[in-house]
Amino acid sequence: MVSALLSCLSPAYGAKALFRNRTMALILGLGLLPAVAQAQEAAEVPVIVALGDSLTQGYGLPADQGFVPQLQDWLTAQGVGAGIVNAGVSGDTTAGGAARLDWSLSGDVDALIVNLGGNDLLRGLDPDVSRANLEKIMDGAAARDLPVLLVGLSAPGNYGADFKTRYDAIFPDLAERFDALLMPDFLAPLRDAGGEAAAAARFMQADGIHPSAEGVAVIVESIGPQVVDLIGRVSQPDAGG
């Protein structure tokens, strides 16, 4: 899926994404604390911040069909109490996520989902840079004693075998180091459900980059049990993974 994502990249994407990222980050920064408070006021349940990019934010989808609202609905259907706060910013890189971590975790937050790295891949950023940024995020969560579910992506072969090896190793390495839960590849459930790449394309939007509402539902079914495990760590922070 990421190879399709790369083929859709236009020369102007970087500048547009940077502008959109800064604008969305400002809006999110002003509105995130009330969102956390509202999640807590709704019920005495754990509050989980989902820190990510457009895959988390729900780009191109109706407000109730993005990753966070579908995950919230899935948890409710399972009888699991939790409030998921959408801290996804379209166009964000791992550096952007690290830069806004402190105010993304403003308020009483109980756990963190980290879903960043896709835009690093789009830009061909050095995997060592991505690793360092994600390490900052994980360090920040550890300093707050927050359990983390780390969500990765699989690098395409376009950048060569060495790049792919170094990038793909980031997520399992950090998950092991920080005792975090791990979903190695956010888009893997779509490939598993669709079989060949052409079949899996039915779960994508027309841009070939972002999952459709149906695709998000497939992803949520896969990641949902791990989010339940993450919630379990809120009351049992020393549980192993």
Point out the residues that are catalytic: 54, 207, 210
Coil/strand/helix, residue 175: helix
Cα 205 to Cα 10, 123, 214, 226: the distances in Å are: 17, 21, 10, 25
Tokens of 129: 């840079």
Query: What distance in Å separates the CA atoms of residue 112 and residue 91, rounded to the nearest whole number?
Result: 20
Cα 145 to Cα 101, 111, 121, 237, 238: the distances in Å are: 14, 9, 29, 8, 10
67-77 and 213-235 are packed helices; what angle lies between their axes, rounded to 10 degrees? Answer: 60
| Pair 100, 137: CB distance under 8 Å | no
| Pair 98, 141: CB distance under 8 Å | no
According to DSSP, residue 85 is labeled: E
